[in-house]
Structure 1
Amino acid sequence: MTLVHVAGVGKMGLPMAGHLQAAGHAVTVSDPSEARLQLARSQGLKVAADAGAAIGRADVVLSSLPNDAALRQVAAQVAQSARRGASYIDTSTVSQQASAEVAEVLAATGVFYLRTTVSGNNKMAEAAQLTVMASGPRAAYDAVLPLLKALGPNQFYLGEAEQARLMKLVVNLMIAQTSAMLAEALTLGRKGGLDWGDMWLVLGASAVASPIVKAKAVQLSQRDFTPTFTVGQMIKDLDLILDAGEAVHAPLAQTALTQQLMHAAMAQGDGQDDYAAIIKTVERSAGLSTEFNEKP
């Protein structure tokens, strides 16, 4: 049994903590939101009375955090409280720069730092179907691999440094671009008079029916834009992607355009919708109604 402290029990962190506990590990959790802690308690998780003390007792600290600032804050607490030989696993989507700064801070503490980014939304986290992309010390990765297997069926070790951070951005670039592709394709079809539901039936049975297209088809065929990942969150990730491209002089022209479409969706009031709401943005630009039952 491994003593695990989970910092951050949002939509991703909470189910991950639950899976680790179900796998037989002793789990405590912490979060700045009392509402999230109440939800964790209701699901049978133990809330740490003192996060620093819980980190100090843990064999493994795992975090799921919203941004660079939160990573730096939690990493500072890990550096101060964690014992030598413990492992710090961070699953957040953050910049390579912030992650490298954390690595430098932790290097002197004897804490093993693993960047273990995950691919998948909250529903996939709940179903333990995440794909884990890890980088950091290989021996530490091998030691925590049984924990990572509780999060999903696929784990990939990519290197000693920030490779997992970059790989997550590569994956999210393709996710963002899939939504932009769908926006243009579906708008063309509607503008030409095709039925919305018919288009989704054909797309789901065609050569372009990737797993993400099939997953989105369930909701979007009903024009349900309930978020698994919001427009605002995708803008944050696109900022990270474009910064990473700039750092290595990789031209990401299409991604920059998709970022602007996301900003348009935000400006049009769709910022809390699923990132696929850029479909509505492109429809509006073509003079189409965004109401489900209206014909072009």
Structure 2
Amino acid sequence: MQTGFIGLGNVGGKLAGSLLRNGISLMVHDLDADLVADFVARGATDGAAPADMMRACDVVITCLPSPAASAAVMAQMLPLMGPGKTWMEMSTTDADEILRLGAEVAATGGVAVECPVSGGCHRADTGNISIFAGGPRPAVEAVMPLLKHLGRRILHTGELGTASKLKVMTNYLATVHLVALCEALTTMKAAGLDLATTYEAIRISSGTSFVHETESQLILSGSRDVNFTMDLIMKDIGLFQKLAEQGGVPLEVSPLLIDIMADGQRRYGARAQSDRIIERLEDATGLSIRADGFPTVLVDDEPEEEGYEVRRRTPVAAAAE
């Protein structure tokens, strides 16, 4: 199928690269002409504009920084949608917005599938990232060949809107882990512990997490460049808080987390790298949360393989009496 990809930024560019690397006929578009030119030099076709791409492609994938950006692109593509056309939304977005746009797509006879990703830019770069796929089962199965090149582990989450809700939940948890790790590392430094030893103690214990095994390394090396900015964090944890409020859930950690990240933006800039949140505690204590021997860039050393679908656990049958 002729495939289009709109949004060649930190994540989108790596996802689109996985398609190109695996021989998918790819048309691309981005507001940054240099990013488009780089893909064209590697064998992609310049899509010119979203409407042109929807006219020419069977499937158009979007990976954009905000719900507003996705809506603007969809406004250009919708008049060209119809039977046989599929929109795959890989942005992290508002579930209400994906449902609104999905209904507009369905009204044309086209199909919408949401496919947000989780696992970091380094895994997006190697096709080893995880993907949540929301939409009707037949629609998800139709794009599964593309999903298997885009990511390693693919979970069909249910109908449209479910994947977006789960994605903001995972980003909320990742941010909780990040802030908690900043407090843990700073407290251990203040207590006189070696930070390289502290890293290993966390890694081999019940306190470990994906965030620790990736972002803690960038904090300790001083790089603090995870290719994810504070404005994106604020969007995602804000969407999670919205879901909680809609469900009447009286969260306590979430509002505090929003306040912490908002303070980080005030101090270091709205688009500062999210790992720079450690600097709030460095500023407050005068301590340097760094250690030798840690990388400045994350590299995925898991070999690239075709993705596969992750199946939900099924209830264990009751034992015979």
TM-score norm. by structure 2 comes to 0.85
Shifted more, 233-242 versus 207-216: the winner is 207-216
Percent of pairs identical after alignment?
25
Deviates more, 1:243-252 or 1:150-159: 243-252
Task: Summarize the Cα distance change of 1:255–1:127 in structure 2 as closer, same or farther, 3 Å threshold.
Answer: same
Mapping for residues 1-296 of structure 1, pairs under 5 Å: 2-269=1-268, 271-285=270-284, 287-290=285-288, 292=290
Of the structure 1 ranges 181-190 and 45-54, higher mean CA displacement relative to structure 2 is found in 45-54
Give the equivalent residue in structure 1 for 2:294: none
Contact conserved, 2:177 with 2:209, CA < 8 A, in 1? Answer: no
1:128 shift after superposition: 0.7
Aligned-residue offset at 1:196: 2.4
Task: Rate the CA distance shift 1:135–1:283 in 2: closer, same or farther, 3 A.
Answer: same
Write out per-residue CA displacement over residues 174-198 of structure 1, whole angstroms, 9 at most, x where no aligned residue. 1000011102111211222222222
For 2:258 and 2:78, locate their aligned partners in 1 and report how far apart those are by CA, in whole Å.
35
SS at match of 1:150: helix
How much does 1:90 deviate? 0.4
For 1:121-172, what per-residue CA distance to the aligned partner results, in whole angstroms no more than 9, with x for missing partners? 2211111111110111211111110110101111111112210010001111
Q: CA deviation at 1:114?
A: 0.5
- Of structures 1 and 2, the one with the larger relative CO (CA 8 A, separation 6+) is 2
Q: Residues 28-68 of structure 1, C-alpha deviation per residue, up to 9 Å, x if partnerless?
A: 00112223223323433221234422211211111101111
SS in 2 for 1:266: helix
Alpha-carbon distance between aligned partners in 1 of 2:270 and 2:52, rounded to the nearest angstrom:
38
1:72 partner amino acid:
A
- 1:224 to 1:49, Cα distance in 2 relative to 1, 3 A: closer
Contact residue 177 and residue 258 of structure 1 kept, 8 A: yes
Q: Which secondary structure state, in structure 1, belongs to the residue aligned with residue 226 of structure 2?
A: coil
**Unaligned 5+ residue runs, structure 1?**
none
Aligned partners of 1:99, 1:76: CA distance in 2, in Å? 13
Q: Which is further off, 160-169 or 226-235?
A: 226-235
Structure 1 CA distance for aligned equivalents of residues 201 and 271 of structure 2: 29
Query: How many Å separate the matches in 2 of 1:186 and 1:251?
Result: 29
Verify the 8 A CA contact 1:225 1:273 in the aligned structure 2.
no
How far is 1:82 from its partner? 2.6
Deviation of the 1:5 alpha carbon: 0.7
Asked if structure 2 preserves the Cα contact closer than 8 Å seen for 1:112 and 1:137, the reply is: no
1:172 is aligned with what amino acid? N
Number of residue pairs matched? 291
Using the TM superposition, name which of 162-171 and 250-259 deviates more: 250-259
1:233 partner SS: helix
Over the aligned positions, Cα root-mean-square deviation in angstroms equals 1.8
In the aligned structure 2, how far is the partner of 1:291 from the partner of 1:185?
11
SS of residue in 2 equivalent to 1:65: coil
Q: TM-score under structure 1 normalisation?
A: 0.92
Find runs of 4+ consecutive structure 1 residues off by over 4 angstroms. 290-293
